[in-house]
Amino acid sequence: MRLDRFISHHTRLGKKRSRALIENCEVRVNKHIVRDPLLRVDRFDTITCGSETLQEHQAHYLMMHKPAGILSATKDPEFKTAIDLIDTPYAHELHIAGRLDRASTGLLLLTNDGRWSKQLTEPEQNVAKVYEVGLRDPIEERYHEIFANGIYLAYEDHTTQPVTFTQLNERRVEVTLHEGRYHQIKRMFHAVGNQVTSLHRTRIGKIELGDLSTGAFQTIEADAIF
């Protein structure tokens, strides 16, 4: 929203009077005097007019080590959710930015900033997601070529982007994805006749799970992921 429209809406002054307040240095955005009535502002900008605060709403960004059995959801009538593990006054504002299924573990991101979470999925951002994957059967050499060529997913009528993986042992690999199709890793290994027995996300972009304890969370900076 334009700053002049924001001031007009929140003070019930007309556009002309709102612009006069801005041009007379009576309006601050994030503690800085602003004289441009056309400045774009959003819900996370702190905006004051004279001595009155018109908006003060903080953006929150968190990382969590999701345990197995916890839903990547804001609420559920049956199962405990990731939000239930967050003991903060603003927990009810948060949503999940990049889900894990109930059985999977590892890095989960949460925020109240919808633009930020949407940005994580935009192809031009090319955000890498790294997983440690346990498999029922031993790795076969043919998997490398099949994954590198992409695997056709009939439900979406989509062929996956080239995927590389590093073999950790006979039945364990590290997989890096740059897209996030529904149960993509499980479906890719199913396509080659294998079954995923465990899935643990260790990194999203530049954010690594590290030694964060299972079930714990901590705040992060918005730009830390890119």
* pLDDT tens-place string over residues 146-165: 999 999 998 899 999 999 89
Domain boundary among 35, 55, 75: 55
> What is the domain-level CATH number for residue 140?
3.30.2350.10
Range of the domain at 26: 3-55
**Predicted local distance difference test score (pLDDT) of residue 123:** 73
DSSP calls for the chain: -BHHHHHHHHH---HHHHHHHHHTT-EEETTEE---TT-B--TTS-EEETTEEEE-----EEEEEEPTT-BSSS--SSS-BTGGG--STTGGG-EESS---TT-EEEEEEES-HHHHHHTT-GGG---EEEEEEESS---THHHHHHHH--EETTTTEEPPP-EEEEEETTEEEEEESS--TTHHHHHHHHTT--EEEEEEEEETTEE-TTPPTT-EEE--GGGG-
- Give the whole-number percent of the chain exceeding pLDDT 90: 88
Structure confidence by residue, pLDDT tens digits, 201-211: 999 999 999 99
Confidence of residue 54 (pLDDT cuts 50, 70, 90): very high
* pLDDT tens readout for residues 4-20: 999 999 998 998 999 99
Q: What is the mean pLDDT of the chain?
A: 95
Mean pLDDT, range 75-95, rounded to an integer: 96
Q: Convert the pLDDT of each residue in 18-41 to its tens digit.
A: 999 999 999 999 999 999 999 999
Q: Are residues 73 and 39 in the same domain?
A: no
* 51 and 22 belong to one structural domain: yes
Is 101 annotated as catalytic? yes
Q: Residues 78, 188: one domain?
A: yes
- Residues 42, 69: one domain? no
Residues 44, 115 within the same domain: no
Residues 85 and 168 in one domain: yes
Name the CA dihedral angle for 91, 94, 97, 98, rounded to a multiple of 10 degrees. Answer: 50
CB-based contact 204:120 (threshold 8 Å): yes
Same domain as 95, residue 117: yes
Rounded to an integer, the average pLDDT of 87-116 is 95
Q: Domain check: are 122 and 172 in the same one?
A: yes
Kindly tell me if the per-residue pLDDT of 197 is higher than 90: yes
> Of 55, 74, 96, which marks where a domain is finished?
55
Measured distance between the N- and C-terminal CA atoms of the chain, rounded to whole angstroms: 26
Assign residue 29 the CATH number of its domain: 3.10.290.10
Number of domains in the chain: 2
* Whether residue 76 is found in the same domain as residue 93: yes
146 and 45 fall within a common domain:
no
Residues 46 and 115 reside in one and the same domain: no
Mean of pLDDT values over 38-60: 94
Does one domain contain both 27 and 8? Answer: yes
Of 101, 137, 157, 223, which residue is the catalytic one?
A: 101
| Res 27: pLDDT | 97
Round to whole Å and give the CA distance between 104 and 182.
Answer: 13
Does the pTM exceed 0.85?
Answer: yes
